[in-house]
Chain A
Amino acid sequence: MQDGAKDPGLYDFTPYRGRKPISWPGGKKVAVWVSPNLEYYEIDPPANPHRKSWAKPHPDVVGYAHRDHANRVGHWRMAEVMSKHGFPGSVSLSVALCQHHPEVVADANARGWEFFSHGIYNTRYSYGMDEAQERAIIEDSIRTVREATGQTIRGWLAPALTHTPRTLDLIAEYGMDYTCDLYHDDQPFPVKVAKGSLISMPYSLEVNDHYGFFIYNMSPREYAQTLIRQYERLAAEESGTVMCIPLHSYLIGQPHRIGAFEEVLRHIAADGRAWITRAGDIADAWNDAQQEVAA
């Protein structure tokens, strides 16, 4: 980005009208990817001067225990429902989970899920990092996920959505293909980086389960209906869209929510217009589509 400029210069302005439609594999209308956030929050993290971690004095029992539910209960309940209906995950991973609870990471890997980095911990923020520090967490992420899963990460969602002006340049330099931190479109687009190339992968805050339940205060059934409406609209448009369903299993994996969510997956899987896939596969298909346009 252009550090300090009024326009950070992240991408070109490209209006929705008049675009050549993207054709997803199999002629599908909307690429649907599910993004479980597999996270580790520290009980007593060091302070970052730019952002407070827990609201309450440590230990923040409510906040910590809620996140811990994901790694003891929620993950399996969510993952079983996804697998049952044929939805792989593209995991936003606090990479230290590979050390703390390798059982969770191994389960996701065995299901054929893709991993990208969500930082080391969701309680260590990038705000204030110098370039060497930021390079260190990127290199740590690549190394840690490779050792734990054999996969090479292709994308980045900043830890707790905390960025520096150089994050996007650095992840592109390290060979990553996509960022999940930009919310300007329902299709992937090139992001301007100093070296190499990077695309924005449509993630979503608006239909993120955290927003659904804690910003918009929806009931489980209202949230499920929201996802179905989001899907129906994106599938009906001609342009070749991407729909992401970002999840936290300590939320969607609660017993009062998972049943309504399962109906969403059943609906999308039965519809026929969805390419149910992973983020990296979307990046590949998008790249192929650009080559065809260029040829």
Chain B
Amino acid sequence: MSLDPTYLDYPKRSLGYDHALYPYSPLPHRAPLHWPAGKTVVTWFVVSLEWFPITPEDKPFRAPGHMQTAYPDYRHYTSRDYGTRVGFYRLLDAFAKVGAKVSVAANAAIAARYPGIIADIVSAGHEIIAHATDMNGTIASTLPVEEERALIVQSLATLEQVSGTRPRGWHSIARSQSFATPTLLKEAGLDYMIDWANDEMPYAFTNGLVNIPLNHELSDRQIINTQQQSVDSYAQQVLDAHDWLAKEAAGQGGGRLLPLHLTPYIIGLPYRMDAFEALLADLAARPETWFARGEDILEAFRNTP
């Protein structure tokens, strides 16, 4: 069977992207972006705080970290809860030790079920990023747009009601979006999202929504769970990344971004926490480091002429 003749048609083969979501802009051609107080590397932690129903819905696919065995999957349901009950509090204490303010990407279900944890996040000065409803709340182009809009609205309303502040940032489950998502996020009043890891600095989508790229490879999930490397290797890779970025910033002028995505049920285990706290101390000791939240990075980006 030969291919349909249209398989060799390339209607979008022209200058720029094959979509209009955001414009092309190579980083070396951009004006430098400077962080406050002369810091050159902003270390940005994003902690995902998630509630997994024990009844996964697979619409259209199962979220990372979701249930794996036949029903009822006590082992994954409870070990995810371990992250929320125990691991996350270890992380809060660790961040406090070095004075780091972070972003917490929380499911609305966390706020609805455990308002106390939201109060602990807010009182510590951390930021809450809206992270859908619960871990069945995956967005994809298979979801009708009206349902997607309702999911976004509901997530924001719940998080605002419990935390007292409307989230400015959005993180989709599995970073999965439809072609309508940037429009719907803008329409819901959001300022930024963190799903697209195609860059290393903040940049604006065509509709004005800012994307702050959250590197999906420099994460505990990718390095420790997927690639099966040790926490020591994870820490080494983070420091290697920091030191490269600091050198690049010094050479080229302007700041760089070190985004670190964390998962409480992965990094927050007892045998990993000492290494993680040592990493935090190593980062804090580097003169280039500015620990910041997503909204702080957004402000620095917007304040750059």
Interface residues of A (CB under 8 A from B): 42-44, 46, 48-49, 56-59, 61-62, 64-66, 68-69, 71-73, 75-77, 96, 99-104, 120-121, 124, 128-130, 133, 136-137, 213, 217-221, 254-260
User: Looking at the complex, which one of B2, B19, B27, B237 makes contact with A133 (CB distance below 8 Å)?
Assistant: B2
Closest-by-CB residue of B relative to A47 is B7
Residues of B within 8 A of A43 (CB): 17-19
Closest-by-CB residue of A relative to B60 is A57
CA distance A125 to B89 in the complex (A): 49
Given contacts A130-B2, A259-B240, 20 further A-B pairs with CB under 8 A are A43-B17, A46-B7, A59-B177, A62-B174, A66-B216, A72-B24, A72-B199, A73-B26, A96-B10, A100-B18, A101-B26, A103-B26, A120-B13, A124-B8, A128-B3, A133-B3, A219-B227, A254-B241, A255-B240, A255-B244
Interface residues of B (CB under 8 A from A): 1-8, 10, 12-19, 24-29, 60-61, 140-142, 172, 174-179, 195-200, 213, 215-218, 223, 226-229, 233, 236-238, 240-245, 248, 256, 258
CA distance A99 to B14 in the complex (A): 5
The answer to whether A42 touches B179 (Cβ under 8 A) is no
CA distance A61 to B173 in the complex (A): 11
CA distance A129 to B8 in the complex (A): 10
Closest-by-CB residue of A relative to B3 is A128
Residues of B within 8 A of A64 (CB): 198
How many contacts A-B (CB < 8 Å)?
A: 160
The answer to whether A61 touches B176 (Cβ under 8 A) is yes
The answer to whether B28 touches A256 (Cβ under 8 A) is no
The answer to whether B8 touches A58 (Cβ under 8 A) is no
The answer to whether B228 touches A217 (Cβ under 8 A) is yes
Closest-by-CB residue of B relative to A219 is B233
User: Looking at the complex, which one of B26, B198, B242, B245 makes contact with A76 (CB distance below 8 Å)?
Assistant: B26
The answer to whether A256 touches B218 (Cβ under 8 A) is yes
Closest-by-CB residue of B relative to A65 is B198
The answer to whether B176 touches A99 (Cβ under 8 A) is no
Closest-by-CB residue of A relative to B25 is A72
The answer to whether B141 touches A59 (Cβ under 8 A) is yes
Closest chain A CB from B204 CB (angstroms) = 14
Residues of A within 8 A of B228 (CB): 217
Residues of A within 8 A of B227 (CB): 213, 217-219
- Are A128 and B2 also in contact (CB < 8 A) when A62-B175, A219-B233, A256-B237 are? yes
The answer to whether A220 touches B18 (Cβ under 8 A) is no
User: Looking at the complex, which one of A66, A72, A120, A217 makes contact with B229 (CB distance below 8 Å)?
Assistant: A217
Closest chain A CB from B154 CB (angstroms) = 21
User: Looking at the complex, which one of A49, A69, A75, A256 makes contact with B238 (CB distance below 8 Å)?
Assistant: A256
